[in-house]
Structure 1
């Protein structure tokens, strides 16, 4: 495989509505891919048609359309379809403000609806005793009243979390007395009373407490009765969708699961003030960007770019596309199971648009658990339909967010079995989406999986990396080899059996090969890191560790490009370290912070790290070590980067003086008892490398590393003996200088 660079993007300034359920993707990735060779030169431009077969990421589709292409999207989920329509053509901010005002002005008895619903969240400030609105109440699972509230008092400025008062508890219990009525109304908007799926709807609605459910049903019941323009109704519907999400019980407190996948109530959770959530929605929706032409199939969109939404499944679209739309490429965020979002989407669709909107998506209510075999089966069906409608050789640029080994195995197996050939895989860290390129083609007869093939591919990858890797990286290297050999799916096996056999093959391949070293406290192959015992570090550049190679590359770049911004550094590195060798942002920042300083948004080498200054400093350190040796009555001799103390003609102590943190190179080119001498500014970078490389950390346990500043301090000691020297150099370990770099 000819590995291509990882395409970096930028985290969105505002994640937007329902972001906890949507793929966490960086902006700029898809537009960058569309402009790359060879795709950009051949396919992109006005009139180009792209296909997103999943419709899982509205932002990705929007970015592609804004790049000047036409995007056909299949969107079976009514909520993601609505999000896409709203992002593409958001109403003006004035319409959101007016819609909320119209809703708030509706009468509930003698009260305005806004005042009535806000009064449900009244509490007393603990400091000034004024009546205020709580931002949220905190609950413990299974209890019938909140134990705490969160507020910001506008009268005295008091804020934060405080115990619930008796009035808070009584108010919550009083609201619960009429809960059965509102709960019945809520599920009747989703399914009919005699519907066989009634039980599933009732079960899903259990994830709403009485107060937020009352607020939501009260608002939803007013939606149709309000005399609003179509544009204002869209705006109000969008705000109510925010409220629907804010009202459920899957908001953990503290937020230990910020991106829930299963519909389950945490042991402690937050009950948001739903009216405040509506008000916050004004900001979320008014920052969605410029308008893009967006139409429902089969309406036309301009050649200059836009979005065409097919409200259905890919298999229903296949024959239509084959005849009418020449697809140049496929793009998309590959979906991973999310029972929480899919179930809630069915509920919300019913509340917002009625039972008819739920009908095509009702299966989401029934299914409670999704495993990776189910995911592989569903993806295989989609890939099959996709391959049927495409000519051979059409590229599919896919993003796999929140990657984990089972997700990758599921997706790679499904694509391989459907006839898609693997072209490229680029992986940065387990926190970043994996970027995969497939090409459509004919299905080939699968081959039998070979443990030796898997072992050799992993060994080759670890040798190229020069340091241990996470299991995700190792697993991906193996998957690539199995996919290229067409051994991922056996025709006689269902997907559950196929995935079990693949996972077992990985486990036996790693555990039964002495070339692999497992750096972990547990037996599970997915824990810790994996390294190679047969590819020791060498002084040659091609065998150096990835972290050392990245350090050299960044410093070389900064020497030639003073005041470079971070993106320029990344653009320099990623084409040099492609595929599974993509350096993490943490490593890049660790090197930048060690050698450079930020000035007006750009990075420039520190004055002391310019080549001429470092050469002078190295000479000064050699002179200093020589002076210490003479005070201790040793003879000294310098040989390139090493200075040795002698006594009676025999070497007593050697010092290897470095200007860098290239510890791997130093360990391979020096004797075991040599002291490594580094600048203090390299200590945090060295500690970062020890954290990411357990093999390096193990080697360094028997070695001593000292900093320039310690040797300077030793030279100033009035009374220095050989014994006190040994005590001094053991007093300042590298680990003490990790600082804030560990956060990256």
Structure 2
């Protein structure tokens, strides 16, 4: 074992121990999507990272490793694998080639007590700087005057115009006259800014920490420093230099570096722009660096307080190391790991550029070497990503026990990233065992986006070498037949039009089950990714004979050049509708009578929909809120109101008051409870506690030509909105057939008014009626 390995052991680990210590794992094999339970605390730099949820990691560790077994996270973004492994009685190691990831994971794993963070930041703020404290020196960089009372104030931010290269507004709250907001800058503000030397000693000091004169990366480093205004660059460099001078070698250094890292992110010109690009927006905010430092300090202080209130003793930070995959492979024993679980790095060149900048800034030039391959002019494309991932998997596979697994958890992953992970696994002899998916947002709300995020859970296992493949044409034909059947089966099982992500996942899963991907890896002179993409493309072209592409309104797309990714897919000869959401709603209501607790019911529901039958995002939670009540620990079924007779009486009285002939009883069409009639115009009302989309389609099919309004409990409206948002065909059918909804509560409020006319009534029609929205709707009642 290497010199650092003994430090990572959290349970007894015997070199060369028998693989037969335990034959049965702690948990059953995972056959369904496990959703995140979320978390209250914010992880530093979370918008760039894809941290794994603790409850998901815990379930996979329990299912796929033994007590005392070894678990590895080779691309750690947080310490979650370490924490969950220790709770489950496993040994664990977390690593990453990026010094920043290691810093985030180590610093958040074992934060000092709040009082130690307080003392360190106070000492830093009180440190001398040019005849004042560092706190005062940095704060005065943002000194200005109130436009109203002219008293001195400190700006929280300045708004800049990129083209002019100057601030145009300043934001502050005046403690003297209470003026608050953004106001034009004045000459004194520009004079203060002009006093800061753009290329002062601080600038060259930082540039040399990134690259020496003439060294590769010097030009890139200079362009990255342009992401900061001269004032913020000066303030941040002075902060980081003072931290290094005062706390070098101190146990609290990593905590202060993490605070600085948060400031480096929030105080750049791109603050709020996400991770899409490095070019600053046309207008941006220049934050007060000391205010940003205080916010970051309070964030970590709160994390420390919460960690200590939990009563858990954190594992040693030595369990998190800076190591490349190659370094791990040379340091760990062969076949020593039971489980590798990780969130793989994204293909995100802008973030790697920022990581290079921030690593050199905080840790020095030597630590930036690992980022050089990501920053060279060559394009980082998906082929490059697959090659790198395959190399990493090949090394990790040698560390896995024969029954071991590699699990990838993507909380905001993309279709292409998931595909390349599966293909890379096939290239190194790993077979896809589990593929579970849930889009991050409902289908129609993201349909037209070029980049859509989904949560993926991928598990891969070692497998025997594949049989000799047939010829390329025969294998291609088999893959297309297999893909078509996988899509057909999934569409029938889910019972709703689907995003391409679902069909893509079904195809990959079927190809893996039939060992077609690994056979394709043996074809000479053939790129696996290109070959798989060609078969998928041909499958979708052939599928147009029995599938139809739809837009977000449920209209058939006639454009032959339409992007497969921008369509919803459905069957031309569809069976009677049986949407998966109806089954989810029914099962959830049943479990609310048997299982107590919001999270327990939620977990049970997901476990009953295996494979690619994952409920739509937010659906289970919406059903629980619609039908349940109580505290989260004692969530239970809400008893329905006995309102049928009340609603009938209100409708009869209201209809007559508005001049309609109103009646209830035997003369009504099937399914209707109350009717209003005026000449050739008729309105039919249905009173329902719950409405399944299957029943709704049947009612529309069987109902006479008339305006139909369904009365529903108030708490059911949000659920129905979500259901219909994901069902454009049913939504379109309702609109064309003149069906809509009214909430019980709104009908009561209108009926209680002394003066009511038809204009008042039209305000309450709809799942989001005009009475709740500023948007006007067309008149319903003439």
Q: The TM-score by the shorter chain falls in which range? A: 0.7 to 0.9
1:665 equivalent to 2:695? Answer: yes
1:373 and 1:133 mapped to 2: Cα distance?
51
The answer to whether the 8 Å contact 1:144/1:173 transfers is no
Query: Which residue is equivalent to 1:721?
Result: none
Instruction: Give the secondary structure class of the aligned counterpart of 1:54.
Output: coil
CA offsets per residue over residues 440-470 of structure 1, 9 Å max, x none? 3344366734223222211211111111122
Q: Is 1:17 equivalent to 2:44 in the alignment?
A: yes
Equivalent residue, structure 1, for 2:167? 146
Q: Which residue, 272, 280, 294 being the options, matches 2:287?
A: 272
Matched residues in 2 for 1:202 and 1:368: separation?
19
Please say if residues 664 and 696 of structure 1, whose CA atoms lie closer than 8 Å, have aligned partners that are also in contact. no
Q: Pairwise CA RMSD of aligned residues?
A: 4.0
Matched, 1:28 2:55: yes
CA spacing shift, 1:106–1:619, aligned 2, 3 Å: closer
Matched with 1:68 is: 89
Quickly say closer, same or farther: Cα 1:615–1:335, change in 2 above 3 A. Answer: same
Report the counterpart of residue 84 of structure 1 in structure 2. 105
Correspondences of 1:209-608 after superposition (within 5 Å): 209-226=229-246, 230-252=250-272, 257=273, 259-286=274-301, 287-288=303-304, 289=307, 291-294=313-316, 296=318, 307-309=319-321, 311-323=322-334, 326-366=336-376, 369-430=379-440, 433-444=455-466, 448-449=475-476, 450-488=479-517, 490=521, 491=523, 492-494=525-527, 497-498=530-531, 501=534, 504-505=537-538, 507-509=540-542, 512-520=544-552, 523-538=562-577, 544-560=578-594, 564-597=596-629, 603-608=635-640
Instruction: Mark the runs of 5 or more structure 1 residues left unpaired by the alignment.
Output: 297-306, 539-543, 718-723
> Which residue of the other structure, out of 718, 727, 738, is the alignment partner of 1:693?
727
CA distance in 1, matches of 2:664, 2:81: 67
1:53 aligns with 2:74: yes
2:338–2:401 CA contact under 8 A, matched in 1: no
Instruction: Show the 5 A alignment for 1:147-226.
Output: 147-175=168-196, 177-179=197-199, 181-226=201-246
- Deviation of 1:197 (Å): 2.5
In the alignment, which residue of structure 2 is the partner of 1:5? 32
Q: What CA distance in whole angstroms lies between the structure 2 residues aligned with 1:333 and 1:224?
A: 31
- Native 8 Å contact 1:5 1:575 kept in 2: yes
Which deviations, in whole Å up to 9, do the C-alpha atoms of 1:298-353 show, x marking residues without a partner? Answer: xxxxxxxxx252x3211232243234x72111111122122233222222222222
User: Judging changes above 3 Å, is the alpha-carbon distance between structure 1 residues 683 and 354 closer, same or farther for their aligned structure 2 residues?
Assistant: closer
- Kindly state the Cα deviation for residue 598 of structure 1 after the two structures are TM-superposed: 5.2
**1:424–1:438: 8 Å Cα contact kept in structure 2?**
yes
Shift of 1:55: 2.1
Once the two structures are superposed, residues 129-164 of structure 1 have per-residue CA deviations (whole angstroms, 9 ceiling, x without a partner) of: 332222222223343112223323344444333333
Equivalents in 1 of 2:166, 2:764: separation in Å?
54
The DSSP-based 3-state class of the residue aligned with 1:734 is coil
Deviations 1:22-55 (A, max 9, x none): 215433221133234xx3xxx332x221011222
- With over 3 angstroms needed to count, the CA separation of the structure-2 counterparts of 1:519 and 1:621, relative to structure 1, is farther
**Between 345-354 and 679-688, the greater mean CA deviation after superposition:** 679-688
Counterparts of 2:579 and 2:572 in 1: how far apart (Å)?
Answer: 14
CA–CA distance in structure 2, aligned partners of residues 738 and 565 of structure 1? 35
Matched position secondary structure for 2:144: strand
Q: For the residues of structure 2 that align with 1:545 and 1:33, how far apart are their CA atoms?
A: 29
- Say which SS state the counterpart of residue 537 (structure 1) adopts: coil
Q: 1:156 to 1:452 in 2, by over 3 A?
A: farther
| Aligned 8 A contact 2:390 2:427 in 1 | yes
Q: How far apart, in 1, do the equivalents of 2:416 and 2:367 lie?
A: 33
Check conservation: 1:261, 1:339, Cα contact below 8 A: no
**Mapped partners of 2:43, 2:741: distance in 1:** 47
Encode CA deviations 1:649-678: one digit per residue, 9 max, x unaligned. Answer: xxx998766432113224236525276663
> The residue matched to 2:512 in structure 1 has which SS?
helix
* Cα 1:693–1:115 shift into 2, 3 Å: same
Q: Deviations over 1:177-222 (max 9, x none)?
A: 4335433221201222232222222222222221111122223333
SS at match of 2:32: coil
Any conservation in 1 of the 2:434–2:459 contact (CA below 8 Å)? Answer: yes
CA contact (8 A) 1:337 1:370 kept: yes
- SS at 2:228's partner residue? coil
Q: Which residue pairs with 2:3 in the alignment? A: none
| 1:575-654 → structure 2 map (5 Å cutoff) | 575-597=607-629, 603-609=635-641, 613=642, 636=666, 641=671
Q: What is the Cα deviation at residue 78 of structure 1? A: 0.6
Change in 2 beyond 3 A, CA 1:308/1:208: closer
Tell me the TM-score normalised to structure 1 length.
0.82
Tell whether the 8 Å contact from 1:705 to 1:734 is kept in structure 2 after alignment: no
Equivalent-residue separation in structure 2 for 1:668 and 1:145 (angstroms): 64
Q: 2:227–2:269: 8 Å Cα contact kept in structure 1?
A: yes
Give the 3-state SS of the residue equivalent to 1:149 in structure 2: strand
Q: Structure 2 vs 1, CA of residues 706 and 282 (structure 1 numbering), >3 Å: closer, same or farther?
A: closer
How many equivalent pairs are there?
695
CA distance in structure 2 between the aligned counterparts of 1:225 and 1:686, rounded to whole angstroms: 60
- CA displacement, residues 604-659 of structure 1 (integer Å, 9 cap, x when unaligned): 555434xxx3787799899999999x9679994579856799x9xxxx99876643
| Further displaced range: 57-66 or 330-339 | 57-66
Name the SS for the 2:618 alignment partner.
helix
Change (3 A) 1:169 1:364: farther
Q: Which residue of 2 aligns with 1:116?
A: 137
